[in-house]
């Protein structure tokens, strides 16, 4: 399986990194080895001095699909969750400045936290989901899916024109503002509609 990640999907986050607003979704992939095993601590890798948390709504693909029309995209997923796209920001900034791919800064081992899955039918409107990330019990990121530049179904349509989606693939739908550095002994917890779906300790 693969993790398909969307960058720059919330205007407030685009501003905080001084990025340009894209004409199309920014897409990158993390390998399946990036998934942090459940209940495991996150160890800051030695190749970076600046790992940022990016809390994101996740969507799990349930069947194979290619060139999916946005109006049928809802039939390709039943479950949503919340996770973290850990990013070695110092390395990413260096790679970006050289015009090089981001994979080393985004796809390293443990860089993808995947929370518990929730049936989408539990929510009345997937385009109005509140979510937040707490660091040491203080809210550091807060978002709502209504603020996405591209909604979940549009993202599925877009990415499936490039990558065949397969059962079990996970889409990371982008982060709102408030990304920040993590340090050893930090404790992160993510909530979707008031329900905690993951927690992770930083080492
Ligand atoms: Zn991200």
Residue whose C-alpha is closest to residue 17's, from 82, 130, 97, 103: 97
Determine the distance separating the centroid of ligand 1 and the alpha carbon of 43, expressed in angstroms: 18
**What's the pLDDT at 19?**
83
**Residue 122: strand, helix, or coil:** helix
Q: What are the structure tokens assigned to 158, written together?
A: 């877009």
Residues with CB under 5 A from ligand 1 (ion): 54, 85, 175
CA distance 201 to 180: 15
- Provide the domain limits for residue 29: 3-201
Determine the distance separating the centroid of ligand 1 and the alpha carbon of 54, expressed in angstroms: 5
Determine the distance separating the centroid of ligand 1 and the alpha carbon of 174, expressed in angstroms: 5
Determine the distance separating the centroid of ligand 1 and the alpha carbon of 69, expressed in angstroms: 24
**What's the pLDDT at 14?**
77
**What's the pLDDT at 51?**
98
**What's the pLDDT at 15?**
81
Q: State the alpha helices, DSSP H only, in the chain.
A: 11-16, 89-97, 103-106, 152-159
**What's the pLDDT at 16?**
80
Q: What predicted TM-score, i.e. pTM, was given to this entire model?
A: 0.96
For residues 126 and 132, is the Cβ–Cβ distance under 8 A? no
Determine the distance separating the centroid of ligand 1 and the alpha carbon of 30, expressed in angstroms: 11
CA distance 155 to 70: 8
CA distance 22 to 96: 15
Determine the distance separating the centroid of ligand 1 and the alpha carbon of 105, expressed in angstroms: 11
Determine the distance separating the centroid of ligand 1 and the alpha carbon of 67, expressed in angstroms: 23
Domain count, the chain: 1
Determine the distance separating the centroid of ligand 1 and the alpha carbon of 84, expressed in angstroms: 8
Determine the distance separating the centroid of ligand 1 and the alpha carbon of 28, expressed in angstroms: 9
Per-residue pLDDT of the chain (203 residues; tens, 9 = 90+): 999 999 989 988 878 887 887 889 999 999 999 999 998 999 999 999 999 999 999 999 999 999 999 999 999 999 999 999 999 999 999 999 999 999 999 999 999 999 999 999 999 999 999 999 999 999 999 999 999 999 999 999 999 999 999 999 999 999 999 999 999 999 999 999 999 999 999 99
Determine the distance separating the centroid of ligand 1 and the alpha carbon of 6, expressed in angstroms: 6
* CATH number for the domain that contains residue 197: 3.90.850.10
pLDDT tens, 80-101? 999 999 999 999 999 999 999 9
CA distance 82 to 196: 9
Determine the distance separating the centroid of ligand 1 and the alpha carbon of 66, expressed in angstroms: 23
Determine the distance separating the centroid of ligand 1 and the alpha carbon of 149, expressed in angstroms: 14
Determine the distance separating the centroid of ligand 1 and the alpha carbon of 128, expressed in angstroms: 19
Determine the distance separating the centroid of ligand 1 and the alpha carbon of 161, expressed in angstroms: 20
**What's the pLDDT at 120?**
98
């Amino acid at each position: 399986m693969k993790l398909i990640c969307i960058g720059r999907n919330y205007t407030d986050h685009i501003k905080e990194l001084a990025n340009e607003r894209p004409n199309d979704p920014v897409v990158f992939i993390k390998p399946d080895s990036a998934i942090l095993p459940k209940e495991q601590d996150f160890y800051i890798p030695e190749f970076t001095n600046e790992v940022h948390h990016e809390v994101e709504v996740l969507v799990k693909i349930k069947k194979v699909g290619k060139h999916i029309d946005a109006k049928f995209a809802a039939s390709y997923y039943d479950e949503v969750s919340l996770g973290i796209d850990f990013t070695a920001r110092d390395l990413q900034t260096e790679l970006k400045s050289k015009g090089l791919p981001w994979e080393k800064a985004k796809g390293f081992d443990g860089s993808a936290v995947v929370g518990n899955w929730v049936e989408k039918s539990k929510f009345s409107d997937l385009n109005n989901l509140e979510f937040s990330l707490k660091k040491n019990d203080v809210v550091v990121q807060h978002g709502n899916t209504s603020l996405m530049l591209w909604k979940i179904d549009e993202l599925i349509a877009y990415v499936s024109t490039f990558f065949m989606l397969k059962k079990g693939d996970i889409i990371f739908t982008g982060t709102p503002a408030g990304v920040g550095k993590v340090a050893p002994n930090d404790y992160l917890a993510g909530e979707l509609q008031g329900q905690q779906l993951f927690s992770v300790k930083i080492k």
